[in-house]
Amino acid sequence: MTGALGPLSRLVGLRFGTFSTRIALLYAGLFAVVLGLVVSLAAGGLSRFGEASAGRDLEANARVFDEILAARARQMGDQAGVLAHDFGFREAVATADAPTIASALASLQERVRSDMAFVLTLEGEVLAADANGFPSPETLWARLDEGGTHGIIASHQGLALAAAAPIKAPDLIGWLVIAQPLDRAELDRLVELAPIALEAQVVESSTQPEWLRGAAVNAAFEREIEGERFLYHVSDLAVLQDGIVPRLVLRHGLAESLAAYASLRWWLTMLAVGGIVLVLGLSWKVARSVTEPLQQLDEATRLIGAGREVILKVETGDEIGRLAESFNQMVAAIKERERQIIHVGLHDGLTGLPNRQLFTEQLANVLTRRRDAEQVMVAYVDLDDFKMVNDTLGHPAGDALLRMVAEHLKEDLPDALIARLGGDEFAVLIDGIDEKASLGNLADRLQACFNRPLTINGQAASSSASIGIAMAPGDGEDGITLMKNADLALYRAKHEGKSTYHFFEPALDEAARQRRQLELDLRTAIKNGGFELNFQPLYSLAEKRLTGFEALIRWNHPTRGQINPVEFIPLAEETGLIVPIGEWVLREACHQASSWPADVSVAVNVSPKQFAATGIASTVLSALAASRLAPHRLELEITESIFIADVEQTLATLHSLRNLGVKIALDDFGTGYSSLSYLRSFPFDKVKIDKSFVEDLGTSDNGHAVIRAITTLAAALGMETLAEGVEDIAQYEVLEREGCQNIQGYLFSRPVEADAVAGLLRHGAGYQRQLRA
């Protein structure tokens, strides 16, 4: 789980690492967009405002210029009017007194600082000091006749502002016109009055470029000239002369007026940049305040994943604080569950006692803490006949018994660590035992725990236990050794009889070592073919001949020589090696028997373990097929102990074997859990009477009766009988007399090697030869 969380937390950590940056960037980006819009709008607005206000200024200036020109013209008109009204002047004009007029005009020019003055009579005559340079009378006449009092005229000095006053005597006889050229200096004086910097020009429209000539009048417009932006304003001026279109052209450099706004725009941009930086910083800080707890959470998660204890500090009452609180609660809940899981993992579910693992750990702890003068006792306890309780009273009763025993142990040995190792096996650990203390008493006290009366299902019951004890430091200083030795001692105690205890002694260890060695050798023998078969003849009393041989395994150990089957068969049974060994025996026996005469059969022992193993029938079939031995010539010898296991299954297996056509004999009849019901449940071909009954024939009187009972019973059930271990003629005679049909024993022959079988068949065996003789 931590392994799975590791990369996940790293992944989350990586993503969170950029989270604050992302938030900061997002907000700054949004702000930048908005600010950018605002600034660009404002800048655009400023530019437009600047342009518009410059345009308005221009228009206003144009109007002011008009006003000023009109005022100037009026003033000039007034000045002209004064002369035009003068009686003498009027008389001079009416009487065409040219010299008087010329002098009067010169005087007027002097007085009003006008550059031009002349009289235009109603008849179209121009009267002036110097008539040159004035516009032709025809172009002026119409305007004046219509009542025009002032306007622009074109003189030899350029465009000029002119004003006219009628001369009446008393009827209109002409006009007095005075004019002032609108030259540079004059316009510059006007420009000085303007609030904005501009250039003014009064020009004749027809001399202007097309774009200016065609421009809309009385409206400001923009024009770029040589890369510079200018605002233009064009207005028509009143004229006093036909055929001219004088215009006032005002020009204003936009760069100048926009320069003021440029600095404002610069400040605005700076403000925006500053704002963005501020927002970036602030949003990063805000994001940090969110992501920092997340990073702490991430770190805490990783530490917890690594098995460290972490408690987050709850600093605030907000969502983050609640998250930290929830996280702490979750961590606590996980720890509690972990504790429970560990408890379940280290304790036995039925009794609540520690299990083997916890016992082993505790033992290791105790051993490391052990002081020199102290001893530690490890006792392995196995309940006697527990299986019987389970079988007879049922598993719930067995469980109840185990719980009660556990309770008793806890009550009676409060200072001891008691564990259930499994099944009916318990372990007891007692530490701090003084080295001079009596271990015997301690063992007795332990034993006494099991002598307490028990009640199961309302019935009184008794229990006893076998106990194996190992002491530290004497029997080992580490837990593994101590537990092994205690187990060996228990093994010995079981073998010595029940309800007893046994202290470990080194010999037990040696025996165990030898057993292990033997097992290894056995495996080697199976692999390398270290076994061979001997055959002991079976003599038929009815046919007076050898009708078969029992195959018996022999192990020729490479270093120890011949090893008694009694020594290694139980070990093979215990370790399960009996299955391959039994298979080999079966095949070898069939192989050998196939070379014998057809009326000679072979008997093979099948161990209960081998019998219970799956596939015994196919193993037999395969052995028969390989040797081409007729099935009826193979006799399988089984013991009653096969019935201890599942009876139904056993019977099914027996029937399947019988269906193959092989014979089945019941071996060692009369020993163990002999029961007549077995005989009734399956029609054995042969019953082998145990040699103990044959031995009895010489010593007890009722031996005859037993033999007779068996033979009678077998005959009644249609089974043959065979007596084992027949060693002398007296036994032979009794068995013959009591109806036993077959004999096996030293009287005829010991087991012989395979190649001796033919000789026995040819020449007879032992007593058979005497019988023939």
Partner 1 sequence: MYRSPFSALAAILAAAPFAWATGGVDAIAAAATPPALRVQVVDGAGLPVRDAVVELHATSPSAGPIRFPWKMGMAQKNQQFTPGTLIVARGSTVAFPNLDTVRHSIYSFSKPARFSIELYGRDQTRTHTFTMAGSVKLGCNIHDQMRGYIRVTDTPFAGKTDHNGYITLTGMAGGAARLTVWHPGLRTPGNESVSAITITGGQQSHKLRVALR
Residues in contact with partner 1 by the rule CB under 8 A: 85, 87, 90-91, 94-95, 123, 145, 168-171
**Based on CB atoms, which residue is closest to partner 1, 124 or 440?**
124
**Closest separation between CB of residue 252 and partner 1, Å?**
45
CB of 165 to partner 1, least distance (A): 13
Rounded CA separation 474/571 (Å): 29
Backbone angles phi and psi of 239, in degrees to 5: -120, 155
Write down the least CB distance from residue 260 to partner 1, Å: 56
Report the residue number, 90 or 484, with the smaller CB distance to partner 1: 90
Other Cβ atoms less than 10 A from the Cβ of 472: the count is: 24
Check: CB of residue 760 under 8 Å from CB of residue 536: no
- Tokens at residue 456, please? 């199961």
Residue 456 main-chain phi, psi, to 5 deg: -120, 125
Tell how strand 199-204 and strand 220-225 pair up: unpaired
Rounded distance, CA 643 to CA 646, Å? 7
Contacts 24+ apart (CB under 8 A), 339-345: none
Kindly state the smallest distance separating residue 158's Cβ from partner 1, in Å: 32
- Closest CB to partner 1 among residues 169, 245: 169
Tokens describing residue 51: 């342009």
Distance in angstroms (rounded) separating the CA atoms of residues 626 and 636? 17
Of 90 and 252, the one with the shorter C-beta distance to partner 1 is: 90
Q: Can you say whether the dihedral through the CA atoms of 434, 438, 442, 445 is positive or negative?
A: negative
Closest contact distance (angstroms) between CB of 195 and partner 1 is: 43
* Cβ atoms of residues 101 and 92 within 8 Å: yes
E strands, 371-416, are 374-383
Residue 123 or 188 with smaller CB distance to partner 1: 123
Nearer to partner 1, 89 or 535 (CB): 89
Task: Tell whether the torsion through CA atoms of 652, 654, 655 and 659 is positive or negative.
Answer: positive
Least spacing, CB of residue 124 vs partner 1, in Å: 10
State the greatest distance between any 2 C-alpha atoms of the chain, in Å, as a whole number. 213
As measured in angstroms, the least distance from the Cβ of 174 to partner 1 is 12
Cβ nearer to partner 1, comparing 168 with 403 = 168
Cα 611 from Cα 14, distance rounded (Å): 65
Q: For residues 173 and 706, which CB has a smaller minimum distance to partner 1 in the complex?
A: 173
Nearer to partner 1, 85 or 704 (CB): 85
Q: How far is the CB of 106 from partner 1 (least distance, A)?
A: 22
Token pair of 527 as six digits: 């692999």
Q: Which CB atom, from 90 or from 143, has the smaller least distance to partner 1?
A: 90
C-beta of 171: minimal distance to partner 1 in Å? 6
Least Å distance, CB 90 to partner 1, is 7
- State the minimum distance, in angstroms, from the CB of residue 141 to partner 1: 12
**Alpha carbon distance 671, 73 (integer Å):** 161
Angle, helices 729-737/691-699, rounded to nearest 10 degrees: 100
Nearest to 101 by CA among 111, 90, 109: 90
Residue 284: CA count within 13 A, CB half-sphere: 12
Q: Are 530 and 559 in contact (CB under 8 A)?
A: no
**Kind and range of the H or E run holding 430:** strand 425-434
Nearer to partner 1, 43 or 122 (CB): 122
**Minimum distance from residue 168 beta carbon to partner 1 (Å):** 7
Smallest distance, partner 1 to C-beta of residue 149, A: 16
Asked if residue 692 lies in contact with residue 671, where contact means CB atoms within 8 angstroms, the answer is yes
Number of neighbours of residue 42 by Cβ within 10 angstroms:
18
Residue 160 beta carbon to partner 1: minimum distance, rounded to whole angstroms: 27
**Closer residue to partner 1 (CB): 125 or 292:** 125
Which residues fall within 8 angstroms of residue 67, CB to CB, at 6 or more apart? none
158-168, strands of its sheet edge to edge:
126-127, 116-121, 172-181, 158-168, 150-155
Q: Residue 43, class by beta-carbon neighbours within 10 Å (0-12 exposed, 13-18 middle, 19+ buried)?
A: middle
Instruction: Tell which residue, 297, 295, 429, 410, has the closest CA to residue 361.
Output: 429
Tokens of 185: 């200096």
Shortest distance, CB of residue 112 to partner 1, whole angstroms? 22
Angle at 171 between CA 170 and CA 173, to 5 degrees: 110
CB of 123 to partner 1, least distance (A): 7
How many whole angstroms separate alpha carbon 149 and alpha carbon 42? 49
Nearer to partner 1, 145 or 567 (CB): 145
117: left (phi over 0), alpha (psi -120 to 50) or beta: beta
Nearer to partner 1, 127 or 590 (CB): 127
Closer residue to partner 1 in complex, CB, 168/347: 168
Query: What SS3 class is residue 542?
Result: coil
Query: Tokens representing 255?
Result: 């760069």
- Tokens found for residue 587: 């095949």
Closer residue to partner 1 (CB): 166 or 398: 166
DSSP letter at 544? T
Tell me the closest approach of the beta carbon of residue 121 to partner 1, in angstroms. Answer: 11
Q: Tell me how far apart the alpha carbons of residues 642 and 662 are, in angstroms, rounded to a whole number.
A: 18
- In the complex with partner 1, the residue whose CB is nearer, 91 or 567, is 91
- Taking the least distance from each CB to partner 1, the nearer of 85 and 515 is 85
DSSP 667-708: EEETSSS--HHHHHHS--SEEEEPHHHHHHHHH-TTHHHHHH
Examine residue 354 and say whether the peptide bond preceding it is cis (omega within 30 degrees of 0): no
Minimum CB–partner distance for residue 253 and partner 1 (Å)? 50
